[in-house]
Amino acid sequence: MLKLMEARFPKPDFTSGYQYPDILHSVPNETLWNVVDIVLLVGMMMLVVWAAYRKRSRAVIYSISIVSVLYFGFFRSGCVCSVGSIQNVVMAAVSPDYHLPLYVLLLFLLPILFTLLYGRVFCAGVCPLGALQELVNIRNFRLARAVSATLSIIPWIYLAFTFLYAATRSQFLICRLDPFVGIFRLGGDVGMITFGVVLLIMSVFIGRPFCQWLCPYGALLSVFGSLSWKKLEITEKGCINCALCGKSCPVDAIRSPQVSRTREERLRGVNRIILYAILLPLLTLAGAMLLGSQSDALSLAHKDVYLYELLLQQEAQPEMEMPLEVETFHALGGNIEELKAEVADIRSDYKLYSRLAGALIGFVIGFKLLKLSLKRSRRTYEISTARCTMCGKCFNYCPQNLTSSKPRRPHSPQTP
Amino acid sequence: MNNDKLKSPIDRRDFIRRCGSLLAGGAALAAGGFLATKVKGKTGDVFWQIDPYKCTQCGRCETDCVLPISAVKCFHANRVCGYCDLCGGYYRPNVKDLNTAAENQLCPTGAISRKFVEEPYFEYTIDESLCTGCGKCVKGCTSFGNGSLFLQVQQDLCQQCNECAIARVCPSDAIHRVSYDDAYQLKDHA
Asked if A8 lies within 8 A of B123 by C-beta distance, the reply is no
Distance between CA A294 and CA A354 in Å, rounded? Answer: 8
CB A326 within 8 Å of CB A307: yes
Q: Is A102 on the interface with B (CB under 8 A)?
A: yes
Give the model confidence (pLDDT) of B24-61 as tens digits: 999 999 999 988 888 865 556 788 999 999 999 999 99
Q: Is residue A350 part of a domain?
A: yes
- Which residue among A2, A109, A176 places its CB closest to the CB of B32? A109
Q: Which site among B4, B54, B55, B66 would you substitute to test the A interface, given the most A Cβ atoms closer than 10 Å to its Cβ? A: B66
Q: Is residue A112 part of a domain?
A: yes
**Structure confidence at residue B104 (pLDDT):** 87
Asked if B161 lies within 8 A of A9 by C-beta distance, the reply is no
Q: Which positions 170-209 of A are in contact with B (Cβ < 8 Å)?
A: 171-172, 175-176, 181, 185, 187-189
pLDDT band with cut points at 50, 70 and 90 for residue A18: confident
Give the model confidence (pLDDT) of A117-146 as tens digits: 999 999 999 999 999 999 999 988 888 888
Å between B103 CA and nearest CA of chain A: 26
**Structure confidence at residue A5 (pLDDT):** 46
Asked if A18 lies within 8 A of B68 by C-beta distance, the reply is no
Residue type, A192: M
A181-197 burial, b at 16+ Cβ within 10 Å, e below that, comes to bbbbbeebbeebbebbe
Average pLDDT over residues A385-405: 86
**Structure confidence at residue A375 (pLDDT):** 76
Give the model confidence (pLDDT) of B126-161 as tens digits: 999 999 999 999 999 998 888 899 999 999 888 888
**Structure confidence at residue A352 (pLDDT):** 95
Q: Do residues A70 and A187 both lie within one domain?
A: yes
- Which residue among B17, B118, B180 places its CB closest to the CB of A18? B118
pLDDT of residue A410 exceeding 60:
no
pLDDT band with cut points at 50, 70 and 90 for residue B7: low
Cis geometry, peptide bond prior to residue A21 (ω within 30 degrees of 0): no
Q: Do residues A210 and A148 both lie within one domain?
A: yes
Report the length, in residues, of chain B: 190
**Structure confidence at residue A212 (pLDDT):** 92
Give the model confidence (pLDDT) of B58-116 as tens digits: 999 999 998 889 999 999 988 888 888 888 889 988 888 778 888 889 999 999 998 88
pLDDT band with cut points at 50, 70 and 90 for residue B1: very low
Q: Which positions 334-393 of A are in contact with B (Cβ < 8 Å)?
A: none
Asked if B76 lies within 8 A of A23 by C-beta distance, the reply is yes
pLDDT of residue A204 exceeding 60:
yes
Q: Do residues A355 and A296 both lie within one domain?
A: yes
Residue B114 exposure: Cα atoms within 13 Å on the Cβ side: 25
Nearest CA in chain A to B73: A25
- Which residue among B53, B118, B160 places its CB closest to the CB of A1? B53
pLDDT of residue A4 exceeding 50:
no
Q: A297 lies in which domain range?
A: 266-373
- Which residue among B79, B158, B180 places its CB closest to the CB of A20? B79
Q: Do residues A74 and A159 both lie within one domain?
A: yes
Alpha carbon separation from B22 to A115, A230, A390, B130 (Å, rounded) = 13, 12, 22, 58
pLDDT band with cut points at 50, 70 and 90 for residue A415: very low
Q: Is residue A328 part of a domain?
A: yes
- Which residue among A80, A101, A171 places its CB closest to the CB of B44? A101
Q: Is residue A245 part of a domain?
A: no
- Which residue among A16, A176, A226 places its CB closest to the CB of B118? A16
Counting residues of chain A whose pLDDT is more than 90, the rounded percentage is 57
Q: What is the pTM of this model?
A: 0.89
Distance between CA A204 and CA A192 in Å, rounded? Answer: 19
pLDDT of residue A332 exceeding 90:
no
pLDDT band with cut points at 50, 70 and 90 for residue A61: very high
Q: DSSP secondary-structure letter at B88?
A: T
Which residues in chain A have Cβ-Cβ distances shorter than 8 Å to B45?
99
Asked if B58 lies within 8 A of A100 by C-beta distance, the reply is no
Q: Of A203-212, A400-409, B77-86, B172-181, where does mean pLDDT reach its minimum?
A: A400-409
Number of domains in chain A: 2
Q: Is residue A18 part of a domain?
A: no
Å between B134 CA and nearest CA of chain A: 15
Taking residue B12's Cβ as centre, other Cβ atoms within 10 Å add up to 8
Å between B133 CA and nearest CA of chain A: 16
Q: Is residue A27 part of a domain?
A: no
Asked if B180 lies within 8 A of A229 by C-beta distance, the reply is no
Q: Do residues A356 and A389 both lie within one domain?
A: no
Q: Do residues A223 and A277 both lie within one domain?
A: no
Q: Do residues A144 and A273 both lie within one domain?
A: no
Q: Do residues A68 and A181 both lie within one domain?
A: yes
Distance between CA B14 and CA A258 in Å, rounded? Answer: 19
Average pLDDT over residues A279-287: 96
**Structure confidence at residue A342 (pLDDT):** 93
Q: Which positions 220-259 of A are in contact with B (Cβ < 8 Å)?
A: 223-224, 226-229
Q: Is residue A283 part of a domain?
A: yes
Give the model confidence (pLDDT) of A152-185 as tens digits: 999 999 999 999 999 998 999 998 899 998 899 8
**Structure confidence at residue A189 (pLDDT):** 80
Give the model confidence (pLDDT) of B168-182 as tens digits: 999 999 999 888 888
Distance between CA B65 and CA B165 in Å, rounded? Answer: 6
Average pLDDT over residues A7-13: 78
Q: Do residues A208 and A274 both lie within one domain?
A: no
Q: Do residues A111 and A214 both lie within one domain?
A: yes
Q: Do residues A274 and A360 both lie within one domain?
A: yes
Q: Do residues A181 and A85 both lie within one domain?
A: yes
Å between B109 CA and nearest CA of chain A: 21
Distance between CA B57 and CA B78 in Å, rounded? Answer: 20
Q: Is A16 on the interface with B (CB under 8 A)?
A: yes
Taking residue B181's Cβ as centre, other Cβ atoms within 10 Å add up to 6
Q: Is residue A207 part of a domain?
A: yes
Asked if A6 lies within 8 A of B146 by C-beta distance, the reply is yes
Nearest CA in chain A to B70: A188
Give the model confidence (pLDDT) of A228-263 as tens digits: 999 998 988 888 888 888 888 999 899 888 755 666
Complex ipTM: 0.84
- Which residue among B21, B121, B190 places its CB closest to the CB of A2? B190
Which residues in chain B have Cβ-Cβ distances shorter than 8 Å to A87?
162-163
Asked if A224 lies within 8 A of B28 by C-beta distance, the reply is yes
